[in-house]
Amino acid sequence: MGDVRLTSPRVIVRREGYDDLEVQTANPDLVLWDRTRVKHRWPKFDEAPFMWLTFLSWAAARRTGAIEASYTYERWETDVLEVEDANEAEKRAAGETVDPGELGLPTLPDPEHGSS
């Protein structure tokens, strides 16, 4: 996997008609992503980072009981307006600059320089 660094991000989810939801993703959510991605032939996380983070937030919300177990991923994907890394939001609120590599999110290669 090269120097890809994955962590379990703490995220803030914004949905139409709901209060913001902050949830900590964890290894079970990452494993569920891996299994589901293969089963449905979805792209890898670094090829579809928005889908990956949306899925992780859904998995974490179900795992923690923040949403009902019957709340499907398809519904979640439609309802979610934004998923934001909570650490990034805190840094931005404090006026700090944010380095995406520090957030534990997939870092995509620089299009001008290719992957390293």
pLDDT per position as a tens digit, 4-13: 556 788 999 9
Burial class from Cβ neighbours inside 10 Å (0-12, 13-18, 19+) for residue 111 reads: exposed
Helix (H/G/I), strand (E/B), else coil: 112:
coil
pLDDT in tens, 11-67: 999 998 999 999 999 999 999 999 999 999 999 999 999 999 999 999 999 999 999
Is 111 a member of any domain? no
Beta-carbon contacts of 45 under 8 Å, excluding residues fewer than 6 positions away, are 6, 33, 37, 52, 106
Tell whether 24 is covered by a domain: yes
Domain assignment present for residue 105? The answer is no
100 is a domain residue: no
Q: Evaluate whether residue 66 is within a structural domain.
A: yes
Residue 70 located in a structural domain: yes
Does residue 112 sit within a domain? no
In a domain, 33, yes or no: yes
Tally of domains in the chain: 1
pTM of model > 0.85? no
Domain that holds residue 88: 10-94
